Amino acid sequence: MTIFYILLIFIVIASLIAVETTDLLSAVICVGAMGFGVSLLFLFLRAPDIAITQIVVEILGLIILIRATISRDLTFISGDKEFFATIVSVAIVFVIFLAGLRVFETLPEFGTPVFAERPDTASQTYIREGLAKTGAANVVASVILDYRAYDTLGEATVLFTSIIGATVILRRSAKRTIDTLRPVSPS
What residues numbered 51-90 form the site for other proteins, per CB under 8 A?
Answer: 51-54, 56-57, 59-61, 63-65, 67-69, 71-72, 74, 77-81, 86, 89-90
Q: Does 29 bind other proteins (CB under 8 A)?
A: no
Of the candidate residues 170, 178, 181, 184, the single one contacting other proteins (CB under 8 A)? 170
Q: How many CB atoms lie within 10 A of CB 28?
A: 20
Binding mask 127-156 vs other proteins (x if CB under 8 A, - otherwise)? Answer: xx-xx-xxxxxxxxxxxxxx-xxxxxx-xx
Q: Which of 11, 84, 178, 179 binds other proteins (CB under 8 A)?
A: 11
Of 19, 20, 14, nearest in space to 32 by CA: 14
**15 within 8 A of 30, measured Cβ to Cβ:** yes
**130, 147, 154, 164, 166 from 159: Cα distances, Å:** 27, 21, 9, 9, 11
Between 170 and 178, name the residue whose CB sits nearer to other proteins.
Answer: 170
Nearer Cβ to other proteins (107/184) = 107
Phi-psi region of 99 (alpha: psi -120 to 50; beta: other; left: phi over 0): alpha
Sequence-ordered list of residues with C-beta below 8 angstroms from that of 75, at least 6 positions apart, any chain: 23, 24, 25, 69
Q: Could you tell me if 25 and 69 are in contact, meaning their C-beta atoms sit under 8 angstroms apart?
A: yes
Residue number with CB closer to other proteins (60 or 181): 60
**Given the complex with other proteins, which of 77 and 184 has the nearer CB atom?**
77
* Site pattern 96..125 for other proteins (x: CB under 8 A): xx--xx--x--x--xxxxxxx-----xxx-
